[in-house]
Amino acid sequence: MRHPKKIAVAVVGALCAGSAAYADQAATNLTWGDSPFSVVSNLLSHSSSQAQPDANWKKKGDLADMRAAALVAQLTLDEKIQLVHGTGMPTVGLGGPFPSWVQGAGYIPGVSRLGIPALATADSAGGVNVQNAHATALPAPVALAASWNVQLAGIYGARIARELRVLGYAEGLGGGINLAREPRDGRTFEYMGEDPVLAGTMSAARTMGTQSQNVIATVKHYAFNDQETNRMTSNSVVDERTMRETELLAFEIAVREGRPGNVMCSYNLINGVYACQNPELLTTILKNEWGFKGKVQSDWTANHSTVASAMAGLDEEQPGDLGAAGASYGITSYFGSALKSAVQSGSVPVSRLNDMVFRRLRTMIALGVMDNPPTPGGSVDQTAGNRDALTVAHESMVLLKNASPDGSNQPVLPLAAGSLHSVVVIGGHADVGVISGGGSGGVPAADGNAVSGCQSGNPLLSTCATWYKSSPFNAIKAKAPQATVTFLDGTNAAAAASAAANADVAIVFATQWESEGSDLASLSLPDSKADPSNQSYDQNALINAVAARAKRTIVVLENGSPVTMPWLDSVHGVLEAWYPGVQGGQGIADILFGDVNPSGKLPITFPRQEADLPQPTIDANNLNVVYSEGLLMGYRWYDAKNIDPLFPFGYGLSYTSFSYSGLRTRTDHGGNVIATFTVTNTGSRAGAEVAQVYATLPPGLGEPPKRLVGWAKVGLNPGQSQQVNVVIPARRLATWNVTTHSWQVHGGSYEIWAESSSRDTNALSERVSVGDMH
């Protein structure tokens, strides 16, 4: 619901408005008291959809409750059982029956006599993961987080939802927000970085964008599924306070603010109990404390019991009943005939089964799926999808280095096409496309894989990367039509170095492929030993060889996790492009040549070396994953241990410059803190700045040095200033009290910081007195 009057910002999103200019518009305002409906409402004005979210949740929820209860009362026992488990895995042809068009992750038949439609689900981390669907491959979720743009997160969710619906799917399985406690995690690209406030806020906005299109959104993997090594058997050992102040805080924000219809529980155990049969997580915290009214769905094969999981709060089992085919793969259904027997014997009360079904039906009613189910057979609007993909690519790329070559007083970027006579583009298959992550978080290439030849023996989790046919090389050539632009594949480092020596500028593309099911061996750019399926040469050696001879060297990174950079001091420019999606090649060229001013900031710390990580190595022989760093997750670890990262959390350069001034703080009647300061564009180009606000809590509380509590992304023309008001809800200043099992704000003096990154040496700070709150 849009607030009736202009109020201070908690989070502001600024959208690009053509070329390098940004919209000169008043900031969009959002308080934590509002849901992201205001954001979604605004974002829909930028999209092709005419659908508007219904903000009257109380009235709508009451009606959904009544309708769902009435339907539950009419269902037979067999029909209820049918509605709480899947019928197989359509994507690999196991189980059934399901319609031939269903090629997604799961399917649950409806009950036609009562007008309950069937429900098909599809993976959708960065787009719809269905073969031959021609769905839009957006930049990866970690890239979306790097935009720090709440409006853009809503557009992202709405884009995926429109494509899910047109293909017949009513539920998307995107929305991963596990924190990047372990940056080598093979699914880092699917998530939203290392900070709970950033991840939770962006997830909430994405959820509202998705559900505004009558599609059920998922938040996953609940919880502490932070590495792929032993992911189905590992036990995350986490103390209560660490749980609440790190990853569970991200889920709390995502659930309370985004109101997802579906929460997926994870594979791992947490303190000795499987996540999908953990009553504290599923019922005490999620449903009772946070007020979650949707359904809890198991990750695929993550359920291990009937009575324990049902009584803990699991509402839906996936993939469910695969019959004899499932048994051959060791996949057992606990919510089919076994659940029916448990209900008949009284081991699972009928009331609990009714609640499982009620939550499902209520969600379908409240989100418009019951009365307006999607129909298959439609076509994806690729033009609109490509437009959104390019917008996300533009806002998510992070300029990490921009130095001046010897003999020049100008930074290497942006490139001036008119002054270029020769450009050499090297490596990373940049002549044909851009790379993407794998597993369920991947999106099939709409027009075929740009790189052929890789063979994988795993039908479920391929080791072959997907490359989208968006050639950076072709886009660079188009930007510099008067220059000679050549490509070398990078397999011969000496030849690449020789070509670089004779060119005005050398642009080296480096890639890092990762996927669900395994973790990265290291954060080093992979070579043919680390990733034999997708790499044929030593990428670090190539960059070093080129940098030794080139006049100007720019490195473009396409990756899902941080990478170490032993060559950093030898190159002039580094652009972090992440997995940039189906328009990635164009997006990279637009940034390199300054048609778009980079505005992304890192959602995750880049360490100098793996020895600096809280978990220096991943021990595959130890099933206990101990969160020994406690509250010091992500940048908090580096701050507390005085470790200098390669690039800090929140870092990112621009082609212009910004200054902060006049920080003032005050508290309101609700105990919230308002930080007011001015951001000025002091450079010669229009651009957007992510102004971050951190808080240092009073001493003696055992807290890290700083925590992110809010931000504003502000678009400014040259010389323009804007006053920014960031509302810091009192709860963002709270710590978890393990005695009362509740949040507590301790009275005292809090230091508030306004800065361009978590390590900004020019940060402003101001102290504010906060009263005690329980």
Please pick, among 195, 299, 531, 538, the residue that the annotation labels catalytic: 299
H or E, element range at 297: strand 295-298
150-167 vs 196-211: helix crossing angle, rounded to 10: 40
Answer for the pair 279, 265: CB distance below 8 angstroms, yes or no.
Answer: no
- Name which of 774, 682, 765, 764 is nearest 735 in CA terms: 774
* Alpha carbon 540 to its chain's center: 27
Please state, in angstroms and rounded to a whole number, the distance separating the CA atoms of residues 709 and 673: 10
- Spatial strand order of the sheet with 218-222 comes to 218-222, 262-265, 295-298
**Residue 647 pairs with which residues in a beta bridge?**
606
- 504 classed as catalytic: no
Report the distance separating Cα 551 and Cα 573, nearest Å: 12
- Count Cβ neighbours within 10 Å for each residue of 9-35 and write b for 16 or more, e otherwise: bbbbbbbbeeebebeeeebbbbebebb
Closest CA to 242 of 619, 672, 636, 710: 636
Helices in 402-492 by DSSP H: which ranges?
472-479
Give the SS3 label for residue 626. strand
Q: CA–CA separation, 204 vs 150, rounded Å?
A: 9
Q: How far is CA 599 from CA 519, 563, 631, 653, in A?
A: 29, 20, 29, 7
530, β-bridge pairs: none
Count other C-beta atoms under 10 Å from residue 281's C-beta. Answer: 28
The secondary structure element, H or E, covering residue 436 is strand 434-436
Nearest to 588, CA basis, from 507, 651, 669, 529: 507
Helix (H, G, I), strand (E, B) or coil at 283: helix
Residue showing tokens 């005085």: 642
From residue 29, alpha-carbon distances to 35, 292, 601 in Å are: 11, 25, 21
> Which pair of structure tokens corresponds to residue 673?
């803190």
State the sign of the Cα–Cα–Cα–Cα dihedral 407, 408, 412, 415. Answer: negative
Among 5, 15, 79, 78, residue whose Cα is nearest residue 46:
15
Q: What are the residue numbers of the active site?
A: 299
